[in-house]
Amino acid sequence: MRAAAFAVGLGLGLLALVPARLLLPAPPLAAAGIGGSLWSARLNGAQAGGLALGDLALAAQPLALLQGRLQWQVAGRLNGRLWRSASAQGVEDLTGRLGGAALPGLAVAGIDLAGLGVVQDAAGRCQSAGGQLSAVLATPLAGQRQLLGSPRCEGEALLLPLASGDGRLRLEIRLVPGRWQARATVAGASAAEQVALAAAGFRADGSALALGREGPW
């Protein structure tokens, strides 16, 4: 018991002294500015793979040291827990709304997260994933405006499969160490929508239109 108390006390002392920028979870998490210490950190203009997360406040949870990991409570546009250990990193119960994003051929007004949990190994390979995602389009497409889905692991990739209620509009985002891949498919688009989608780069794929993109993560 004394040893545990000593370990926690030592951990608290170290957290109070170490600059936040040194031990925060590894990329793709980044920020325009990082202040404070590992005990209480501020991330200004936080981003994950280029996706804006806004300003975040991180408060260390020292009891997680007994599990061999650094863990923070996240507050801001997103709320939940962020952690890392010697061999893994991840998020737990992450909830909130992200701003608009430029996804392949689709103008997204916002992305809602509900209870998102992801565990990756030290190399960024997906180990487990769960929770709910909801993307709201800036303008309706094929009569649909909302895409829903649940993240999961597929091999080493983190897969984010989103679809409209009727299944005519689908967006699949795949994250692997260092890269992302995305594919959007639209079925049942109106004639005017087909012209706009073709101008955006969509091409015929059976009875649907599809567009794929990829880039560094």
pLDDT tens profile 175-193: 998 888 888 899 988 888 8
The confidence score (pLDDT) of residue 8 equals: 43
Within a domain: 36: yes
Q: Does the structure show a pLDDT above 50 at 105?
A: yes
pTM over 0.75: yes
Contact indicator for 144, 134 with CB cutoff of 8 Å: no
- Least confident residue range of 2-6, 22-26, 167-171: 2-6
Within a domain: 95: no
Within a domain: 172: no
The confidence score (pLDDT) of residue 49 equals: 63
Within a domain: 202: no
Within a domain: 14: yes
Q: Regarding predicted confidence, which is higher, 2 or 71?
A: 71
The confidence score (pLDDT) of residue 13 equals: 43
Give residue for tokens 């012209």: 195
Residue 57: domain span: 1-63
Predicted confidence band at 1 (pLDDT cuts at 50, 70, 90)? very low
Phi and psi at 61, nearest 5°, equal: -115, 95
Instruction: List, in sequence order, every beta strand (DSSP E) within the chain.
Output: 29-30, 33-36, 40-48, 51-60, 69-76, 78-85, 88-98, 101-103, 106-121, 126-141, 144-149, 152-154, 157-163, 169-176, 179-186, 203-205, 208-216
Within a domain: 191: no
Counting the structural domains of the chain, the total is 1
Segment 105-117 shows an average pLDDT of: 85
Instruction: Report the alpha-carbon distance of residue 114 to residue 46 in Å, rounded.
Output: 19
Within a domain: 50: yes
Q: Does the structure show a pLDDT above 80 at 37?
A: no
The confidence score (pLDDT) of residue 115 equals: 96
Q: Does the structure show a pLDDT above 60 at 20?
A: no
Q: Does the structure show a pLDDT above 60 at 24?
A: no
Q: Percentage of the chain with pLDDT > 90?
A: 31
The confidence score (pLDDT) of residue 27 equals: 55
Within a domain: 140: no
Contact indicator for 169, 163 with CB cutoff of 8 Å: yes
Segment 111-116 shows an average pLDDT of: 93
Q: Does the structure show a pLDDT above 80 at 55?
A: yes
Q: Regarding predicted confidence, which is higher, 2 or 177?
A: 177
pLDDT tens profile 193-212: 888 888 888 899 888 999 88
DSSP track, 158-179: EEEEEE-TTSSEEEEEEEETTE
